[in-house]
Amino acid sequence: MAAQPPRRPVSLSAGDPLAGLNRWVAEGSVDAAARARARQKWLERQAAEEATVMGVLADLAERGTALMVSTTSGHRSRGRAVAIGADFVIIREERLGDVVVPVRRLATVRAAPGHDSPTGDRPLGFEVMLADALTELAADRPTVVAAVGEEELRGELRSAGFDIAAIELDGPRRELVNVAMAALDHLVILRR
């Protein structure tokens, strides 16, 4: 075997013909990184502009992230989104149970502290409407608390239809109250 010549360090000084190539590659890397950052910012802005409340809720539900929602009446629910329909979300709260909130009543949605905010920018295909979900739920005659305006109506969910739900109130008279779906702020399912 022939002896190999000793290795010399490669010099990229100004007198070296590779120095220009090295500078060009370095400048290109910096330019590419700047373009990538600008594109990322543009994509984030575009996602924020296309976000929907339902998209944010779906992102949080898929991640299993704890969240807090508030309604236009000021009610707050903390927990995890366990079901989402075309016009409602169900938040599972440890202390209350499942809280059904019509999306039209949502004022704010936020992820629990320490979690990234979702983008909520994708198209969704939820088909189950609140009226359909309550109709199905009424078959089990659950004990509920319905928040309607200034009132909280506690009783058994007896039936639900297109725009109305019937609740038989707790108490000696067992009065039946018809609740307009449009007036419902939220509904807590206490017992099924």
Higher pLDDT, 16 or 135: 135
Q: Is the pLDDT of residue 130 over 70?
A: yes
| Residue ranges making up the domain that contains 88 | 53-191
- The per-residue pLDDT for 119 is 72
**Which tens digits make up the pLDDT trace of 11-61?**
555 566 676 667 666 666 766 666 667 666 655 555 556 678 888 898 898
Cβ atoms within 10 Å of 140's Cβ, excluding its own = 11
Is residue 118 located within the same domain as residue 144?
Answer: yes
Is residue 29 located within the same domain as residue 107?
Answer: no
Residue 144 Cα distances to 71, 90, 154, angstroms: 18, 14, 6
- Rounded mean pLDDT of 90-115? 91
Is residue 115 located within the same domain as residue 160?
Answer: yes
Is residue 163 located within the same domain as residue 175?
Answer: yes
Is residue 38 located within the same domain as residue 107?
Answer: no
Q: Dihedral, CA atoms, 129, 51, 81, 126, nearest 10 degrees?
A: 30
Report residue 167 as tokens. 């609740």
Is residue 23 located within the same domain as residue 105?
Answer: no
Q: Is the pLDDT of residue 155 over 80?
A: yes
Whether 190 contacts 145, CB under 8 Å = yes
Out of 46-55, 81-90, 155-164, pick the least confident: 46-55
- The per-residue pLDDT for 127 is 86
User: Is 8 part of any domain?
Assistant: no
Q: What are phi and psi of 130, to 5 degrees?
A: -55, -45
Is residue 76 located within the same domain as residue 156?
Answer: yes
When divided into structural domains, the chain yields a total of: 2
The rounded percent of the chain whose pLDDT value lies above 90 is 49
User: Is 149 part of any domain?
Assistant: yes
- The per-residue pLDDT for 5 is 60
- The per-residue pLDDT for 1 is 56
- The per-residue pLDDT for 54 is 85
User: Is 1 part of any domain?
Assistant: no
pTM for the model stands at: 0.72
User: Is 170 part of any domain?
Assistant: yes
Is residue 90 located within the same domain as residue 178?
Answer: yes
Is residue 95 located within the same domain as residue 174?
Answer: yes
Is residue 106 located within the same domain as residue 173?
Answer: yes
- The per-residue pLDDT for 80 is 95
What's the whole-number average pLDDT of the chain?
83
Is residue 38 located within the same domain as residue 84?
Answer: no
CATH code, 122: 2.30.30.600
pLDDT class of 98 with cuts at 50, 70, 90: very high
Q: Is 132 exposed, middle or buried (0-12, 13-18, 19+ CB in 10 A)?
A: middle
Q: How far is it, in rounded angstroms, from Cα 85 to Cα 129?
A: 6
Is residue 39 located within the same domain as residue 131?
Answer: no
